[in-house]
Amino acid sequence: MTLDFYYMATSAPCRSVMLTAKAVGVELNLKELDLIAGEQMKPEFIAINPQHCVPTLVDDDFALWESRPICSYLVNRYGEDDSH
């Protein structure tokens, strides 16, 4: 399973999502956006995320943005419960 992840390399919230994905064993298809050049304003990205911000995660037809909800989603959906 590979999820599309739109990010900016210098963003701490983006890095927190990347670390969470690695911890739960999810491979991210990294798609870096150049915010200075305005790539987040392209129509194809706004169709995914009308708030045009990073980080943005796309899992099949489900898109989510903002790091904390993305991290929670990754843990709840892909994390394993090893408390047994």
pLDDT tens-digit readout, 38-75: 999 999 999 999 999 999 999 999 999 999 999 999 99
Give the catalytic positions in this structure: 11
Please name the CATH architecture into which domain 2-57+64-78 falls: 3-Layer(aba) Sandwich (3.40)
**83, pLDDT greater than 90:** no
CB-based burial, 17-35: b 16+ in 10 Å, e otherwise: bbebbeeeebebeeeebee
State the pLDDT confidence band at 82, using cuts at 50, 70 and 90: confident
Cβ contact 70:62 at 8 Å: no
State the pLDDT confidence band at 84, using cuts at 50, 70 and 90: low
Q: What is the pLDDT of residues 2-20, one digit of tens each?
A: 899 999 999 999 999 999 9
Structural domain spans, the chain: 2-57+64-78
